[in-house]
Structure 1
Amino acid sequence: MDPAEPFLPYGRQTITESDIKAVTDVLRSPYLTQGPVVPLFERGVAEKVGCDHAIAVNSATSALHIACLALGLGPGDWLWTSPITFVASANCARYCGANVDFVDIDPSTGLMSVDALEQKLIQAEQTGLLPKVVVPVHLCGSSCSMQQISFLAKRFGFAVIEDASHAVGARYQGEFVGSCTYSQICVFSFHPVKIITCAEGGMATTKDPQLAQHMTDLRSHGITKDDKRFEFPAPGPWSYEQQKLGFNYRMTDLQAALGLSQLQRLDEIVAERQRLFSVYEKLLVDLPLHLLSIPSEVSSSLHLAVIRLLNPDARHHRSVFEGLRTLGIGVQLHYSPVHLQPYYQRLGFQVGDFPVAESYGSNAISLPLYPGLQEADQMRVVRALAQVLSA
């Protein structure tokens, strides 16, 4: 690596002066945690994606957990998700005492394969082990085939939670991801490298007012202060009731202020990511690799630019990855297949269970992609790729 050249991470938050002002305004206000800004952020997200309810929490992991609980997932039930995702997409079921299984991916998009899902559902129906919940993962900002998944949900009787941690600002068939047209609940992440950030934070959207109320209760210890919902007469105006076993999953006003400020630039941020991705499409055309495809009905928010090497050899994958890191290109793998993590192998999963996902994990690399990345930086990434691929 040339010491004069900066290290290029695969992702980076973008903070403006207006973001900083939004946070400092909260610091100067009477409320740092549970004030007026969280509801404003929730309303802003709900209006943006065209959904009735949005519930802000401290992480997308928390949102997945309370979404599963709100849908009644528990011991003896099954949740299915993609093996190419962050472990939280599967762990949320284990938090509820439920079982986890996976559905293999489409090799061209990295998304859950609808054909594989249908075949697995047909087999599960015969054995009486149908899932209660399926969690399609919108990898890299591209929506899964939600209309087809919704059709299967009605046919086989499962609920759908969209893990849209990568996909705030994306569209499917012209509608914003998060509208819940084809799901019961959709979950977003606002981690620093995501499309917009709260530093840490998450959000669940839903059209169902009962699910919304259940998740709202669960994020704050299962407590309500609404005396109209009390089970016992209130002894005084100080009263609240814990009606469920909930959690401290609340988002703070400080986090919400940053998220609300960034939400105002969401379309601009997504457009910049799409522009940068189109630059990669042109620059990478002659190298022995391909970018993940984006389905025709999807306008991706391009959280990640993932390439797949044409050489399937695992040693080649590692040498390319390490060579790029040595040249100052902060590549990453999103993701190693979840079912091969030690925890899940102890549950009985093994190599060979999901071969398409395993192939993906052996030759996928995420390139730098974030607003503020310059075309000269992208040319440097491509030169580095050409260098290590020819070594």
Structure 2
Amino acid sequence: MIPYGRQSISQEDIDQVVQVLQSDYLTQGPAVPRFEEAVAAYCGAAHALATNSATAALHVACLALGVGPGDRVWTSPTTFVASANCAIYCGAEVDFVDIDPHTYNMSVACLAEKLCHARQNGTLPKVVIPVHLCGQSCDMEAIHALSREYGFRIVEDASHAIGGRYQGQPVGSCRFSDVTVFSFHPVKIITTGEGGMALTNDSVLANLMRQYRSHGITSDRTEMAPRDAGEIWNYQQIRLGYNYRMTDIQAALGLSQMGRLDEFVHARHRIAAVYGQALSGLPITLPFQQASTFSSYHLYPIRVDQERCGKDQRTVYQQLHQAGIKVNLHYIPVYRQPYFERMGFPTGYCPEAERYHRETLSLPMYATLTVDQQNTVIAVLKEIVNS
């Protein structure tokens, strides 16, 4: 069986985790700050805050930006549900902007058109969450320019994109956003088992996110409410927060994995190049890469051209699975999920996202995919779509 994605764990990773297990701190110790510093330094961001998932990072980012009831948050429909759920957790309304037919990221043209209508209707978003699908950055400079015109804040959902670059700078630098969020799930570029991180250049946002990830608690005396001088107050809960902390065990794994991040991304590019050459000319569409971006290649999506292939996506999916190649779907449009349909989102709401969903399969893509495994994927796919 060849999965669509998997982690790569080295002996050094294991040794680093064992060191924490044998130390005095399994959580809230020194490993988490070291991991945060390493990611911030790699990305060129001022602040990084580790969390127990990217979902938690998205949630605290929205909270820190003041998202609440009566607010609107827009995101891409072609993403995991967490990109939208984080707004709903805050009591806000969520809406979706259709995708670009080439990059599969949020369409700047659709965003601009939707913003124009929203201004006329008094329904502008407070926050927009562009999603860097498959590891390729959205056109962040253009989205940032729209934010200046229409007054919304930006959270980059870069769950797929650590190790990628945009306009020559690392994704996560927050040059064109308020916050960037990474995921460290096992199928992502690097892993902490489960885990996420929020990066920002804004010290106020960083402080708020730190509080929200740990019960709303502060130990900073300048933030504490006055109390009787005879009482000991070494911390106070000053707002409602959550237990979204990352453990030192997870952080040790993440810090070790950071040492191989560039190696992982290079391997993914090598695999993508082989796919690109071997699959060219088949009745499928291969991933398009913008010149201004350097993808981390978390995913390698192909689109099945039913008219040329004579087979639909479902048939190709089933035949690949029968051959032991566990391709996947990334993603069903979020608003097609039953929970969101009950909010009133109809089929056809974002037509490009729905076309993408009906045609796309994610081929196996991970740093340890062997030459033999990739050759098997290529040979089986060729046989299926050419027969």
Normalising to structure 2: TM-score of the pair?
0.97
Distance 1:389 1:227, change over 3 A: same
Query: Where do 1:192-231 residues align within 5 Å?
Result: 192-231=186-225
Contact 2:4 2:362 in 1 (8 A): yes
- Structure 2: which amino acid aligns with 1:144? C
Distance 1:282 1:65, change over 3 A: same
Q: Quote the Cα distance in structure 1 between the aligned partners of 2:178 and 2:279.
A: 39
Contact 2:305 2:312 in 1 (8 A): no
Q: Quote the Cα distance in structure 2 between the aligned partners of 1:375 and 1:82.
A: 34
Q: Does 1:184 align with 2:148?
A: no
Instruction: Give runs of ≥4 in structure 1 deviating > 4 Å.
Output: 234-238, 312-315
- Corresponding residue for 1:239? 234
1:290-343 superposed Cα distances (whole Å, 9 cap, x missing partner)? 222111100000000000111179971111001000001010000011111101
- Corresponding residue for 1:173? 167
2:257 to 258, 262, 265: 262
Query: Where do 1:93-132 residues align within 5 Å?
Result: 93-132=87-126
Q: Does 1:305 align with 2:305?
A: no
- Corresponding residue for 1:290? 285
Aligned length, in residue pairs:
385
- Corresponding residue for 1:66? 60
Q: Quote the Cα distance in structure 2 between the aligned partners of 1:101 and 1:228.
A: 39
1:125-169 superposed Cα distances (whole Å, 9 cap, x missing partner)? 100000000000000000000000000000000000000000001
Q: Quote the Cα distance in structure 2 between the aligned partners of 1:267 and 1:236.
A: 51
Contact 2:57 2:198 in 1 (8 A): yes
How far has the Cα of 1:242 moved from its partner? Answer: 0.2
For residue 160 of structure 1, give the secondary structure of its aligned residue in structure 2: strand
1:238-290 superposed Cα distances (whole Å, 9 cap, x missing partner)? 63100000000000000000000000111111111111101100010121102
Q: Does 1:390 align with 2:382?
A: no
1:77 to 68, 71, 74: 71
Q: Does 1:368 align with 2:364?
A: yes
Q: Quote the Cα distance in structure 2 between the aligned partners of 1:181 and 1:227.
A: 32
Q: Quote the Cα distance in structure 2 between the aligned partners of 1:274 and 1:322.
A: 27
- Structure 2: which amino acid aligns with 1:346? R
- Give percent identity, aligned residues only: 55
How far has the Cα of 1:237 moved from its partner? Answer: 5.0
Normalising to structure 1: TM-score of the pair?
0.96
For residue 128 of structure 2, give the secondary structure of its aligned residue in structure 1: strand
For residue 383 of structure 2, give the secondary structure of its aligned residue in structure 1: helix
Contact 1:161 1:184 in 2 (8 A): yes
Structure 2: give runs of 5+ residues left out of the alignment: none
Q: Quote the Cα distance in structure 2 between the aligned partners of 1:152 and 1:235.
A: 53
Moved more, 87-96 or 372-381: 372-381
Moved more, 267-276 or 153-162: 267-276
1:155 to 149, 155, 162: 149
1:54 to 43, 48, 56: 48
How far has the Cα of 1:227 moved from its partner? Answer: 2.4
Q: Does 1:36 align with 2:30?
A: yes
- Corresponding residue for 1:4? none
Q: Quote the Cα distance in structure 1 between the aligned partners of 2:310 and 2:384.
A: 15
